[in-house]
Every structure is written in structure tokens, then in C-alpha cells.
Amino acid sequence: MPTPLPVAVPDQAPLPTLPTSAAPSGDGRLLFDVARPDAAGRVTARALLRALGWTPGLTLHVDVVTGAILITPAAEGAHVVGTREELPLPAAVRHLCGIAPGEPVLLAALPRQNRIVAHPSNTIAAVLADLHARILGEPS
């Protein structure tokens, strides 16, 4: 049986680097979670609520801003943090943002601004597809 010839290992191509984040997580400036609204439009967000110090019964204002759901504490808010530490995503705002029942949403908490922004998964998918295309040099 002949002796196999040595095979040169090809150099690995360098991995693309992701852009640096303007607000890295973990330092109190931006925290993330992913949740799926239940049939009533509530999403469980215990870690984010605890990081913000929001407790069950806190009144909230829920609004749509640029295709995302903005949730802020409000003394005369029409919604409340639920007893199981869930956030309300009312039907009207889910409809305006194109969030289908059971579709995941990306929750971003901004502790310094005392707010949570819920982003529909279709928006996140479009942003990631665009980023992927730019990294690979493909037209978007």
C-alpha cells in the first residue's frame, strides 16, 4: 500500500467582524429578550422588568413609534404590568406593527430611559438580511 502524500492545510479565510454596538448590553444601557405574545397579546419579560424595577400593577403607556412598540411607565397609563410579570401588547399596536399571533418579538430595555421597545421579528429579519448582504458584498 503506498504512503499517502502530505496534504497542505489551506489558510482559513478571515471572518468578517460585526459593527461595534453603540450601546453594548450588560452595562445598563441596553438589555434584550425574545418573547412570543400569548392569545391575549401579553409577553413575559421578567428579566427586563426586574432590571427596570417595574413591578406588577405599574401603569404603562403603549404606543407605536416607527414600526415598533414603545412601552413606558405612565401615571395615567391605560395598561399595567401583569401579575406574572408580563407586558401587554394590545391588538391595535400588534396589528399596526404586523405582529401575528405567536410571532416572536425582540424586546429591548433601555434602563437609562426607563422604557422597553418591542420589535417585530419581520423587522429584525430584514435588518439582519441587509447586514448579511453588506458583509458578503451582495446587493440588498
CB 118 within 8 A of CB 62: no
**pLDDT tens for the chain, residues 1 to 140:** 677 777 666 666 555 554 554 444 455 579 999 999 998 999 999 999 999 999 999 999 999 998 899 999 999 999 999 999 999 999 999 999 999 888 899 999 999 999 999 999 888 777 778 777 888 776 65
User: Between the CA of residue 83 and those of 47, 80, 101, 102, 113, what are the distances in Å?
Assistant: 14, 9, 21, 21, 23
83: left (phi over 0), alpha (psi -120 to 50) or beta: alpha
pLDDT confidence of residue 25: 47
Cα–Cα distance between 106 and 60 in angstroms, integer?
Answer: 19
